[in-house]
Amino acid sequence: MPSLDLQHILDALLPEIEAAAKKIRHIYTADFDVWYKEDGSPVTSADMASNQHITQALTALTPDILIVSEESPLSPAQLNSTNTYWLVDPLDGTRDFVEKTGDFSVVVALIYQHQPVLGIVYEPMTDTVFYALRGHGAFVKSPQFGLQSMQLQPAQQPTSEIRLIISGRESEDRYRQHLHPDYSYQFIKKGSCALKCCWVAQAEADCYLRFGTTSFWDTAAAQCLIEEAGGIVCGLNWQPLTYDLSTGLHNPKFMVLGDTSLPWAHILQIPAQTG
């Protein structure tokens, strides 16, 4: 990536994301304000505190790079001005934050030419951070296990049960109709789009299906992680997700696939489409 030292940026950014996560955790254990956007989605004082900290840190670190945050709306002219930009979700899983499930994260990605080249997902309640640089691998660091590389491995024996992770608010029936009956399936329900992707990257789940509405900031960082770990993030047309601001900020329906040795085109009975 021209003129940018991504490793330096990552090293400088990780403690700032940790600081934002600590602010979220502090607010989580106290009383906090909740209000609602026009689409009915909640926003809390934790979203705003995290957003302010991260955007200030990014502005200081890379003053010439546009910041696209869920909580900082931009004009269409600004969104069409560049193909290098930051994507920020200061609190991915706000509903879970409000409901006190613990399933939420801080998510930051750097986009270059419509592709994520740096991704960070921080889970405040466990102090676990997932991060990746394009071409340099994916890693997870936690208090329990320290720093570990994430590399998905092909199954060593035939898979008898496919582990699918979905949103805790979605019905399993929505997805069962697209699953081949030759296999048995275990459904795992978890909050935070980015954290569900991280479960696949860690081989805690085999597949994440998402047919509901998501935005660029929900998936970009996790896509960098998944792809560096050896998995796939693609639309229902089996093409990788891309992040072109001129097309808007919403993703198509998508799939996150872990073990690429599995016959996913057979397991998932999904007709090719643009999503």
pLDDT in tens, 19-59: 999 999 999 998 888 988 877 788 999 999 999 999 999 99
Domain co-membership, 249 together with 126: no
pLDDT value, residue 155: 59
User: Domain of 212: which CATH number?
Assistant: 3.40.190.80
The token duo for 102 is: 């613990």
Global pTM reads 0.93
Any bridge partners for residue 268, and if so which? 179
Q: Which residues contact 63 (CB under 8 A, 6 or more apart)?
A: none
How many C-beta atoms lie closer than 10 Å to residue 83's C-beta?
15
pLDDT value, residue 275: 44
Domain co-membership, 182 together with 131: no
pLDDT value, residue 250: 93
Domain boundary among 108, 128, 150: 150
Parts of the chain with a pLDDT under 70? 1-2, 154-159, 272-275
Domain boundary among 150, 170, 197: 150
Query: What domain range is 55 assigned to?
Result: 6-150
Reported as a single tens digit per residue, the pLDDT across 134-163 is: 999 999 999 988 988 888 776 555 567 899
pLDDT value, residue 274: 41
